[in-house]
Amino acid sequence: MPWPSVADDPVLEMIVSEEVRQNTTLQLIASENFASPAVMAATGSVLTNKYSEGYPHRRYYGGNMVIDEIEDEARRRVCALFGADHANVQPHAGAIANMAVYQAVLEPGDTVLGMSLDHGGHLTHGSPVNFSGQQYRFVSYGVTASDERIDFEDMAAKAHAEKPKLIVAGATAYPRIIDPNPLREIADEVGALLMFDAAHIAGLIAGGVHPNPVGIADIVTFTTHKTLRGPRGGCVLSSEQYAAAIDKAMFPGIQGGPLEHAIGAKAIAFAEASTPEFSDYAALIVSNAAALAKALAGHGFRLVSGGTDNHLLLIDLRAFDPDLTGKQAQTVLDTAGISLNKNTVPDDPRSPFVTSGIRVGTPSVSTQGMGPDEMGEIAELIARALRGRDDAGVVDSVRADVGGLCSRFCPYPGLGV
Ligand SMILES: *Cc1c(COP(=O)(O)O)cnc(C)c1O
């Protein structure tokens, strides 16, 4: 075929460089994971060529007989996995899934209760720099000053005072279980709808290690690429009552043609997540996070809320070293081959661009098959690099040890060579 030749395109080399980076450095970003070869094969398949605006058996274009089967299968699998009545598997991302829900159930200017960004909420939960905070009137709840867990009393008081149309639960940097039951009670007391944004913890729910909000919340959204370990994308689950409004908001309301290569990959990820091996994996994520928390505390780090019940830890660096910012820590650790992100801690005196904390997650290292011993090694590597951050020799020695650890648990053998 007369394809233009791109054999010497530098981007192809850059992809190999990224394969090398993922294979030889530690990925501790809590929202990342390593997708399976089957998921990656689907995302790189001919499904990317097809236009399929609309929904299965109601498409705008012809030629969708196979695509319809794939999208139907994805919807069936995810409904079975979470026990939902209806699924929309088309959102290009988690943010779009949330946008479609808001468009389906709210009018511009409506009041919504969501978790504040600096206490662990997501941009789409009402941040003023995000469409959510610009189009709707978000009121924030957060965590208590004492135990740094969700302040249900304050949330209930705000719900009664503000009478929100919708309560948004879920977080992006919160290390504890979020029980959907007290949220349902508060929503019922004030006649609000409840949306549970399970973006981060969908894999923990699918694996049976965290409570399932489906059937308790009216609507559940999530991303497919975080703990669920599928392709980059989003999903919305709901009862039949909201199905038509959500589908209409997604298309034609917000998106055009769905990414059917991502939907095929989602279907594969949903099947993978329904296996006993995936339940073991979800349990390993949580036990690794607990082991890492314990080991880091032993090196003098303070854990926000005192520990973790999920896949992530939020570390307040001030107890370890009051002069060390999250921004500096992220930079030093990047040099040492440890990839994670700076993060505000509750009531952080530093700005979101500087921060006093870092967020550390175990989904990727658990996919690699690391266990509690390796969590101890990782804690030691982090502590050593941060203590010796002004000494290039120390940072280099950590980088070498990271390479050794990764070579024993290579995520993609054969790639990046
Ligand atoms: C990651 C995340 C999202 C957004 O997902 P994207 O795919 O990045 O758009 C939404 N909500 C929460 C709580 C998240 O953690």
Dump pLDDT digits (tens) for 34-79: 999 999 999 999 999 999 999 999 999 999 999 999 999 999 999 9
Which of 223, 308, 362, 367 is labelled catalytic? 223
Fold of 40-272: Aspartate Aminotransferase; domain 2 (3.40.640)
Active site residue 232: yes
| Atom of ligand 1 lying closest to residue 121 CA | 13
In angstroms, the Cα distances linking 251 to 55, 100, 169, 227, 297 are 9, 9, 24, 26, 48
Span from the CA of 95 to the centroid of ligand 1 (angstroms)? 5
In angstroms, the Cα distances linking 345 to 125, 176, 382, 401, 407 are 17, 14, 18, 29, 33
Closest C-alpha residue for ligand 1 atom 4 = 94
What is the full DSSP assignment across 167-232?
EEE--SS--S---HHHHHHHHHHHT-EEEEE-TTTHHHHHTTSS---BTTBSEEEEESSSTT--SS
Dist CA 297 CA 303 (whole Å): 7
Most informative mutation of 172, 219, 250 for ligand 1 (most atoms within 8 A of CB)? 172
Cβ–Cβ < 8 Å for 214, 256: no
Confidence band, pLDDT 50/70/90 cuts, at residue 7: confident
CATH architecture entry for 284-407: Alpha-Beta Complex (3.90)
Domain ranges of the chain: 40-272, 284-407
Structure tokens given for 249: 């908001």
pLDDT for residue 1: 79
Dist CA 350 CA 171 (whole Å): 21
In angstroms, the Cα distances linking 255 to 226, 250, 260 are 22, 6, 13
Average pLDDT over residues 258-272: 98
Span from the CA of 92 to the centroid of ligand 1 (angstroms)? 11
Predicted TM-score (pTM) of the model is 0.97
Pocket lined around ligand 1, Cβ cut-off 6 Å: 31, 93-95, 98, 122, 124, 170-172, 197, 199-200, 223, 234
Q: What mean pLDDT, rounded, does the chain reach? A: 97
